[in-house]
Amino acid sequence: MPLSARIALGMLFLAAGLSGCDIFNNQPPPSTPATQPTSNSGSYTTLEQSVHEQINQYRQSQNLPPLTLNAEISKEAKAHSQAMANGTVAFSHDGFEGRVKEIGTSINYRSAAENVAYNQGYSDPVTQAVQGWIKSPGHLKNIQGDFNLTGIGVVQNAKGEYYLTQIFIKRG
Domain carrying residue 107 = 3-27+42-171
Asked whether residue 36 is domain-assigned, the answer is: no
Asked whether residue 37 is domain-assigned, the answer is: no
Using pLDDT thresholds of 50, 70 and 90, give the confidence band for residue 43: low
Asked whether residue 11 is domain-assigned, the answer is: yes
Asked whether residue 35 is domain-assigned, the answer is: no
pLDDT reported for residue 172? 86
Mean pLDDT value of segment 106-119? 97
Contact indicator for 166, 54 with CB cutoff of 8 Å: no
Q: Is the pLDDT of residue 131 over 50?
A: yes
Number of domains in the chain: 1
pLDDT reported for residue 44? 78
Asked whether residue 23 is domain-assigned, the answer is: yes
pLDDT reported for residue 153? 98
Q: Kindly report the CATH number assigned to the domain that includes residue 140.
A: 3.40.33.10
Mean pLDDT is lowest, of 23-27, 37-41, 136-140, 146-150, for: 37-41
Asked whether residue 94 is domain-assigned, the answer is: yes
Asked whether residue 105 is domain-assigned, the answer is: yes
Burial string for 107-142 (b: 16+ CB within 10 Å, else e) reads bbbbbbbbbbbbbbbbeebbebbbebbeebeebbeb
List pLDDT tens digits, range 46-63. 999 999 999 999 999 999
